[in-house]
Amino acid sequence: MTVVKEESGEDAGKGDMPDEYVPSERRLERQRYKRARARRATAIAAVSTLVTAVVLYLVVVSAPGWERTRETFFDAGYAREAFPKVLEGLWLNIRLLLICGVLVLLLGMLIAVARTLPGPVFFPLRALAAAYTDFFRGLPLIINLMIVVFGVPALRLQGVTVDPVWLGGTALTLTYAAYVAEVFRAGIESVHPSQRAAARSLGLTNRQALRHVVLPQAVRRQVPPLLNDLVSLQKDTGLVSIGGAIDAVRASDIIAQRSLNYTPYIVAGLVFVALTIPMTRFTDWVTARMDRQRAQGGAI
């Protein structure tokens, strides 16, 4: 006679639970193969990069005129002299970036909203916004800076500042707001009209629909190009030096003009590059993340 052993409630519950997953030998072998391939690819990339760097170094240092080039552009003494002064001037560029960046976003948003207002009554406002973007996108930034930085003080208007930093920041804001406005406008127009219609059917006014439904979607979609514009703004803050403001560019120019050696320009350029690279990589990361969300059907 067969004896059946009754399981207690605890034992029965354990029997119903699935066993811990154990990968098969084939899967483990595949994972080991992938890891080996990754290590091999990394090693090959490192060796090839090292070889390329050595070859480029030998080609450069053996080229005719290298000694003269090194003395003119890569002098260690002038680099040590310029570096602290360039860093001191860079603080002005960073402040300009922060202040102008906020103003550009606000002004660009207002212009974009003005260009997308519906109805014939808002036609003059739409026309003015379109004229603004067309004018400042077509006007070279350097000319805009010269007009504002040199032309405004020539007017001798009472109560108007002649500080080149403020005037240069104003010129940067006017120009970049036109570019950012077009980015915002593209984002607003990319939102399907049914979104606004659905908001209106729920009782929201046009202004509420724009604020709570359209603009949040438009801004999320346009984050990568907005970050690219901020990267460009960060570099162009160096142009305020044409008015005499002592920023990183002007600090390097003072040393270069005194010494007739151009190493300070290289130092200033490398400092700007070092400041720009993190912002560029962050922009790339945001773009890739949003692309993955679109591919997976997530929120955009």
Which domain CATH number covers 164?
1.10.3720.10
Measuring CA to CA, which residue among 237, 201, 255, 192 is closest to residue 94?
A: 237
129-140 pLDDT per residue, tens: 999 999 999 999
Residues near 55 by beta carbon (within 8 Å), at least 6 away in sequence: none
Q: What is the extent of the structural domain holding 131?
A: 78-283
Total domains in the chain come to: 1
Amino acid of residue 155: L
> Within a domain: residue 242?
yes
Does any domain span residue 296? no
Is 138 a member of any domain?
yes
**pLDDT confidence of residue 186:** 87
Q: DSSP secondary structure string, the chain?
A: -PPPPPPPHHHHHHHHSPPPP---HHHHHHHHHHHHHHHHHHHHHHHHHHHHHHHHHHHHHTSTTHHHHHHHH--HHHHHHHHHHHHHHHHHHHHHHHHHHHHHHHHHHHHHHHHT--SGGGHHHHHHHHHHHHHHHHS-HHHHHHIIIIIHHHH--TT----HHHHHHHHHHHHHHHHHHHHHHHHHHHS-HHHHHHHHHTT--HHHHIIIIIHHHHHHHTHHHHHHHHHHHHHHGGGGGGGT--SHHHHHHHHHHHHT--HHHHHHHHHHHHHHHHHHHHHHHHHHHHHHHHHHT---
Q: Using CA atoms, how far apart are residues 290 and 247, in angstroms rounded to an integer? A: 36
In a domain, 272, yes or no: yes
Q: What is the Cα 252 distance to its own chain's centre?
A: 25
Q: Indicate whether 300 belongs to any domain.
A: no
8 Å CB contact between 96 and 250: no
Domain membership of residue 41 (yes or no) is no
Could you tell me if residue 236 is inside a domain?
Answer: yes
Residues of the chain with pLDDT under 50: 1-10, 12-15, 17, 299-300
Tell whether 66 is covered by a domain. no
Q: How far, in Å, CA of 34 to CA of 22, rounded?
A: 19
Burial level of 218, CB count in 10 A (0-12/13-18/19+)? buried
The pLDDT, as a whole number, for residue 19 is 59
Give the whole-angstrom CA distance, residue 281 versus residue 228: 11
C-alpha closest to that of 181 among 228, 231, 115: 115
Cβ atoms 195, 214 nearer than 8 A: yes
Structure tokens at 22: 């154990």
Work out the burial of residue 152: count CB atoms within 10 Å of its CB; fewer than 13 is exposed, 13-18 middle, 19 or more buried.
middle
pLDDT at res. 245 = 85
